[in-house]
Each structure stands twice: as structure tokens, then as C-alpha cells.
Amino acid sequence: MGVMINGTYQTDDPGPETSASGAYERAKSTLRHWITPNGPFTPEPGRYHLFVAWNCPWAHRTLLVRALLGLSDAISVSVAKPARTDQGWVFDAFGDFSDPQLGVQSLHEVYARQTPAYTGRITVPVLWDKHSQQIVSNESADITRMLCIAFDPKRRLVPEGLETQIDTWNTRIHRDVNHGVYRAGFARTQEAYDAAVTDLFAALEAIDAHLATQTTLTGDHLTEADLRLFPTLARFDVAYHYAFKCNLAKLSDFPHLWDYARAFYALPGIADTVKPEIYKAGYFSRSDLRNPLGIVPKGPKVDWTAPTDRHITWT
């Protein structure tokens, strides 16, 4: 992931942060400006650029908004190479994993342009303002909400009247599911791992039961909460189940949740954001703690195009 101190990139990455009990703690994002109609960052098509990586679930949620709202022309994107190096997230000189916006070779070069000098983790996603040549935000939750509202006057993904329900779902999904798989995968004690896996599967079972009578998390309407859940579901069977020891069950063992996930996948533009082979290569990359030999498994085979019993409408 990499870290920067006072604007200087450090190749000696300290690794995931853990508490005294061995529990994984995700570093907080610190660059958190907002796009607003009257602020310094206004919602102008063509003004903003996203730096992302296919294998990052936090970046995935921003790509989902971009796809659903048809923002490909309004917000350009650079995709980092799937495998990080000692330079963190890096780019090729040409091709699918190059940076057409700034022409940088590594993401820390983008962070180095920040004023005042940046100190913190070098993470994706990054929302970049082409006008001021500064980072607007590196917090995925904020970027997702900004895109949902600032670039869609109809607020289709965060409709008025559903904000409280959406935020309640977002809180639980982040704590027990999105972050929960990392709490399990990066746990450094048996107790921390057991607690994480218990919370994760309790949440998945509750969501599965909820979806037995609901088309989406909030009823019949697709919302930001669904976008926050899907990236973890997309990676679950091919990565988290094995690499992060989240193996009490597979996603495909939850009938309603699996049906819902495939219905979401069938929405226009979503399949193009799902990259199972990249997920496997990333999560099974060499790690002294998790996968010392760096062997990437061939399976499992996951059929995202299998017929579903539900239909999620989106206009």
C-alpha cells in the first residue's frame, strides 16, 4: 500500500495496522474535501479524474456509481496495475494500466503534488481535480456519496426519505462485511480472527434473511447501500473465503444473497467492473503471513450469469 511522510514516499511499508489485541484497524483517510454547487469543487463534467485499481473493493464502489450513472464521459479514470510493488500502486507507460491524466508511474507521485505536504497511506480510490491540480478526496465512502448526489440531480441512489435507512445499512455493512473480511484476513490472534468471522457471518445471515422478502436492501429501490455491499460479494468466493479464511460458508451458500448478487451483476455496466482473475492474483499474491509461496489457485468457478429469481430495475 505504501506510506508517505511529509510528502516523501517511504518504501519501507510497515504493513497492516493492528491493535494490541491483534485486531486489524483500517487507517483513516485524511483528504476529505467535498464537491458542492457553491464550494471550491463544483460538479462540472470533465473536471474530475479517478485513480483506482480493479482489485480494490473500496475503489470498486466508485466505479459502480460511475457505471450506473453513466459518468464515463464526465469523470475520466486511471487504473493501476493489479500487483503492487515497493512503489505501491504503479502504472505502465502505455495500455490499460497507464495513467492518461498525469502520466505518473506510481500513485505516490499524485499524492506528492498535494499541498500541504501529505502524510499517510497511499490508497485508492483518489478523486483528482484537474482545475486545482489537487486531490479532492481519498475516502471511498465520501467519493461514492459525492458522485451519487453531485452528478445526479434526481438523487436516484440516495433518494430523499431513504437517507437514514441507507446510512444504517452502510454502517453495518462497513463494520461487519466490507471491513469484516479484512478484520478476519489480517487478524494476528485467534481471538481477533474468531470475533471477526463471527460478526461477518452473522451479518451475512441477517442480510440473506432480509433479502428473502426484499428485492434490494431498502425494498424495491436500488441505493448506495447496495453499491457498498456488492464489492465484497464480488470477491467473496474467489478470494475472501480462502485467502482471508472467511470459510464458514461461501456466498453461493446463501440463497437469497447469492440471487441478489447475480441480479446486481446483471445491471447495465456492472459486469465490466468485476474482475475475478485479478482478485485472485491480488489476494493470493505473495505474503509472508498469508501466502508465503504466492501460489494463485485455479478455482473456484463462479457463474455470475446464472438465472436469478429477482429483477432489479434501474433507470
Q: List, by residue number, the catalytic residues.
A: 56, 182
For residue 280, report the phi and psi dihedrals to the nearest 5 degrees.
-60, -45
How far, in Å, are 6, 110, 208, 230 from residue 123 at the CA level?
A: 16, 11, 31, 20
Residue whose grid cell is 446464472: 306
User: Phi-psi region for residue 95, left (φ > 0), alpha (ψ -120 to 50) or beta?
Assistant: left
How far, in Å, are 34, 37, 71, 224 from residue 43 at the CA level?
A: 10, 6, 12, 19
Residue 32, SS3?
Answer: strand
Per the structure block, which three cell numbers stand in for 12?
Answer: 519501507
- Whether the bond into 116 is cis, omega within 30 of 0: yes
Residue whose grid cell is 457553491: 38
As to burial, measured by CB atoms within 10 angstroms (0-12 exposed, 13-18 middle, 19+ buried), residue 185 is buried
Per the structure block, which three cell numbers stand in for 153?
Answer: 440531480
Per the structure block, which three cell numbers stand in for 303?
Answer: 457463474
